[in-house]
Copies of this chain bind each other. A is one copy, B any other.
Amino acid sequence: MISLEQAVACLTEQVTPIKETEQVSLESLSGRILAQDYTAPFDQPPFPRSPLDGYAVRGEDTTGTSHEMPVSLRVIGKVYAGHTFEGEVQPGEAVRIMTGAPIPVGANAVIRQEDTDYGCERVGLYASVKPYQNYCYAGEDFQKGTVLLKKGTVLNAYDMAVLASLGYGSAVVYRQPAIAVISTGDELLQPGQPLTAGKIYDSNRILINSRLQALGIPSALTLHCGDSAEQVAEQIREVSAHCDIIITTGGVSVGEKDIMHGVLKCLGVEPLFWRVAVKPGSPTLTAVYQDTLLICLSGNPYGAAANFELLVRPVLAVLTGNSRLCMKVKTAVLTNAFPKQGKMRRFLRGYTKHREVQAVTGNHSSGALSAMLRCNCLIEIPPEQNGAQEGTQVRVHLL
């Protein structure tokens, strides 16, 4: 039996961060991880730009202008956003300009239309503008060559919009981990099937698959196998070539039907470790089969859930290079007592808000999945301690 920390260290040593990359179109980049830096291929804005509707002028031509002392300039053209004015503005001249349009050569300021008579051939100005007033410089947002998005960035909507504004219709990202989930057990029915004697519904498969999805990792493949070591081994052989990790549930304890030990024998591999000193889900069994990490979790729904969070997430973090896939840990004050004594470090389901945390009351049996509803954390109760009193500071692992 090894500690949780030893188990995590052992598993994370087995995986190396994914280096293979793929080109993915802009729309599908959410949550993906950049495999290279992205630099600005041009100044942004690419040209000096008007921030408002008005007239592009030479600021010097407007000095001292006011309502009492208007100035009149010759309007030599008009320019809209998305278009360009080909000429050059000379002294005494102006160009009608709209928001977002390039400021013509020769002009160095924009006077807002509210300070003019909106003239077409000539325009009367009622205010002065200084050179470079109302003038967005080329490169004001960023300059050509600036690294805007670094390799390793986990892309969100704003990152994607910046990539779009740089003109990138796709980006090079690391491929996503490929993960198979196999639930085992003769007693498991798939949801939707009619309930028969002695059976229960398989919830581990959907749980782990959905947790993976929630962490931004697509489901590669999910399967259910009965209690046959040969069958499970055969499935693992079939899918391992395409998988970084295979997660199984069930069959890891010490009973006759705890087939996962037999599965490893069939595959001809030795366990990395079997049993971790945590409650629930202690009998976790792990191995490596042909470069694929096998993590065999307890079949108990809460045991599987807790060990997915505690053991599998750190592995996913290393594999993807995304440390945010690990649970965050904080300390909080327990608002209700947990009286049970235990030899093993125990993780309770809880709900934390601000600096407080409440353990789920009622049924704490490891199989009771419904106690997970409305929980947002796991509460760590150290071993060899007479439970935990109300008001105790506890470590809280945020789901």
Contact = CB atoms under 8 A, between A and B. Distances in A.
A373 B159 contact: yes
A interface, by DSSP: helix, strand, loop or mixed? loop
A250 to B, nearest CB: 9
B136 A257 contact: no
A46 B206 CA distance: 20
Interface stretch (A161-169, A285-293, A313-321): A161-169
A83 B186 contact: yes
Contact of A372 (B140, B158, B365): B158
Interface residues of A, number: 90
A386 interface: no
Interface string A38-52: 000110111100010
A197 B206 CA distance: 52
Given A101-B198, A141-B363, A227-B82, A373 B162 contact: yes
A81 B363 contact: no
Interface in A122-175: 136, 140-142, 148-149, 156-170
Interface of A: 26-27, 30, 41-42, 44-47, 51, 53, 79-84, 98-102, 113, 136, 140-142, 148-149, 156-170, 185-193, 195, 197-207, 209-211, 213-214, 219, 227, 253-257, 299, 301, 305, 363, 365, 367-373, 375
18 contacts: A26-B206, A30-B213, A79-B198, A80-B256, A83-B187, A136-B365, A141-B370, A156-B210, A156-B214, A157-B207, A158-B369, A161-B203, A161-B204, A161-B305, A162-B372, A166-B201, A167-B192, A169-B193
